[in-house]
Structure 1
Amino acid sequence: MIQRPAEAFQQGVTVGDVQAIARAAFGRRTVVESAVELGGGMYNSVYRIQLGDAAEPVVLRVAPPAERQFTSEAHLMRNEYASVPWLAPIAGLMPRMLAADFTGTVIGRDWMIQSFLPGAPAPQRLSSFPKDTHPLFFRQLGEITAAVHAVVGPHFGPIAGPGHARWSEAIMASLQQIADDVEGCRLDAADLRRAADVARAGADRLDEVSVPQLLTGDLWTVNTLLAPTPVPAICGVLDLDRTWWGDPEADWTMRMARAKQDERLAFFDSYLQPEETEAVAWRRHVYEVRHLGALRLERHRLGSEAGVEDSYRAVAVELSALAP
């Protein structure tokens, strides 16, 4: 296990928990030879499990206790589980779902077991390639994102629900949930409330988005694995638990692709950007406030006071751009 302070958000499970999960998933005679907790993620607790009768390891992911989850991040693992059939266009890059339990009867927390994907995490491996090959990585990321965004869904909002008939309703609900969570942390959420009011007043512009498309929610370098090849080649995509239905421009991936004027712009060699209009630009400012609100919560959870303060300055910039 990774040793963490008692007050840390991420808390591991016991040896007995791992054994109970393995037996619930694969039968009471299942033998767990080893379980190694993996770092890198900041939400679920993740383990590489070697079973006695298996040639390949499997991956166990355990959600935080329900009472420790923010409302705006509630049951992300269940949302990921519901997303699997919709992610069929990139199924060849994703781990297979082997077992899951959301009843709380085994260890009192949600968990899932997936196949183990070989490959090196992109944040560790990408820098080892020559700089002039990095655009290849981002071009592949653009292809993957385009394949996901091409999927059309039944409602706006999280895959597992609640669903909304209009995009404006989904955005306002999300902003309000994040604001509630921020206030629950005893932080000021007035700027996020103001953004929700602006979104409500501009509902017509938001509702120009009339087709709910599948959004990855969180796809970037940290969610990808690279193959042992001479140039960057994505061989795996992981942890798409924040998927939702909406405007592709609201996806975290699009925000990150535009964050710097560097090799990441190769993303748009394979991903067709929308026509730039005043309404598109306006909506991006609304989406950025939502991203910044979620980041404020994450930084608070990680104990980054400076990061929390930065979020207020950044939201102020976006609100000034939204002012009539």
Structure 2
Amino acid sequence: MEFRPIERTHDAFQQPVTAEQIRAMCSRAFGSRVEVISAVELGNGMYNNTYRVDIGGNGPVILRVAPEPARQYRIERELMRNEHSSVPFLAPIAPMIPRTLAADFTREIIGRDYLFQTMLDGIPGPEGIGNYPRPQWTSFFRQMGEIAASIHAVRGEHFGPVTGPWFDTWSEALIAHFTDLAADLDDSGLDATDVREVAAAAHKYAAVLDEVTEPRLLHGDLWTVNVMMDPDAAEPTINGVFDNDRTSWGDPESDWVIFMAGKKPGTERDAFWESYGPRPSTASAAQRSLFYLAKHIGALRLERHRLGNAEAVPESYEQMRDVLDQLR
């Protein structure tokens, strides 16, 4: 078996598995007679460990291994299980997402969740879009708007992550998120005072937040890094969506894809709104958007800390201060 892991330090968040463990996982998923020819770790993800595994006649498959439970933040609790449960709700984009071939959440082999998926065709979005002249990028973002709209059209029965915990109101779900985020920051040795202030403001503005009464499906991580593109298409064409583990039920305006699409107005990203539709322009929507911005700033702060990007962490405090000034 050819085994090519990514070399990491002992204290890195992502910890690799061994060749023997990969053989054991393949044997459990595909039978004791499976022949594991190679396992190559892919480096484009920052949470799960991802491997391209060649199992002979069955072709290459993707193996994703979740972090150890003790390494998982509260706001990222059991994301792999969340993705597994979200697949039926992602039916509108079913042809684009990988199929699950096997999943093992017993933690008997390595003490971590893992699953095998089909390997999507194409090339990663950041690589693919660079192969086209910039004026053609509008096609890419228009497709992104179509995909986001089809996901957001799916209705739910409660607010919160797909696997829970669930909440009856949108304000309760957001307050719970900010409470968990503050605890995660505490555990990481970072100041969480501003996040607690946002949680207190969410209590104060609960009536505004609870104008959102119908939970919609949110992808949570949809953007260029999590799509595949057709390398032979005449114009930028998205043909795959992966890393669907941050799905939840909530206000579409709070989704990551909305935040990213609106980040650089006056650029090719504006094509997103042509297919997605206009954003709400009420005063209440503007107030809610401040909480959504705080949600993204806080999550990015935690992720930058986890990745060892200490120089970028202070910026998040300045950004959160601006949000709190507007909420006050």
Normalising by structure 2, report the TM-score: 0.97
Equivalent residue for 1:127, pick from 130, 141, 145: 130
Write out aligned runs for 1:12-161 (5 A). Answer: 12-54=16-58, 56-161=59-164
Shift of 1:273: 2.2
Q: What whole-Å deviation, never above 9, does each CA across 1:95-117 have from its counterpart, x for those lacking one?
A: 00111011101211000100001
Residues 1:273 and 2:278 are matched in the alignment: yes
More divergent stretch after superposition (251-260 vs 301-310): 301-310
Amino acid at match of 1:150: A
Equivalent residue for 2:307, pick from 294, 302, 310: 302
Shift of 1:118: 1.1
Shift of 1:124: 1.2
Name the CA distance, whole Å, in 2 between partners of 1:12 and 1:300: 20
Count the aligned residue pairs.
322
Amino acid at match of 2:26: A
Shift of 1:314: 0.5
Name the CA distance, whole Å, in 2 between partners of 1:208 and 1:88: 27
Name the CA distance, whole Å, in 2 between partners of 1:146 and 1:197: 31
Equivalent residue for 2:176, pick from 173, 176, 194: 173
SS at 1:232 equivalent:
coil
SS at 1:144 equivalent:
helix
Shift of 1:74: 1.0
Shift of 1:322: 1.0
Which residues of structure 1 form unaligned runs of 5+? Answer: none
Name the CA distance, whole Å, in 2 between partners of 1:143 and 1:62: 30
Amino acid at match of 1:166: T
Residues 1:217 and 2:216 are matched in the alignment: no
More divergent stretch after superposition (144-153 vs 122-131): 122-131
SS at 2:277 equivalent:
coil
Equivalent residue for 1:250, pick from 250, 254, 268: 254
2:263 is aligned to 259
Shift of 1:264: 0.7
2:204 is aligned to 201
Residues 1:289 and 2:285 are matched in the alignment: no
Q: Does structure 2 conserve the Cα–Cα contact (< 8 Å) formed by 1:24 and 1:106?
A: no
Name the CA distance, whole Å, in 1 between partners of 2:107 and 2:299: 27
Q: Does structure 2 conserve the Cα–Cα contact (< 8 Å) formed by 1:37 and 1:47?
A: yes
Amino acid at match of 1:181: D
Residues 1:192 and 2:201 are matched in the alignment: no
Runs of 4+ in 1 over 6 A off after TM superposition: none
Shift of 1:52: 2.1
1:319 is aligned to 324
Give the CA RMSD over aligned residues: 0.7
Name the CA distance, whole Å, in 1 between partners of 2:68 and 2:280: 43
Equivalent residue for 1:8, pick from 4, 12, 19: 12
Shift of 1:8: 0.6
Name the CA distance, whole Å, in 2 between partners of 1:230 and 1:98: 32
2:229 is aligned to 226
Name the CA distance, whole Å, in 2 between partners of 1:2 and 1:303: 17
Q: What whole-Å deviation, never above 9, does each CA across 1:39-92 have from its counterpart, x for those lacking one?
A: 1110000000111231x3110000011111111111000000010000000000
Shift of 1:222: 0.4
Normalising by structure 1, report the TM-score: 0.98
SS at 1:128 equivalent:
coil
Amino acid at match of 1:110: D
SS at 1:49 equivalent:
strand
Name the CA distance, whole Å, in 2 between partners of 1:220 and 1:275: 21
SS at 1:53 equivalent:
helix
Q: Does structure 2 conserve the Cα–Cα contact (< 8 Å) formed by 1:292 and 1:315?
A: yes
Name the CA distance, whole Å, in 1 between partners of 2:304 and 2:22: 29
Name the CA distance, whole Å, in 2 between partners of 1:27 and 1:105: 16
Amino acid at match of 1:140: Q
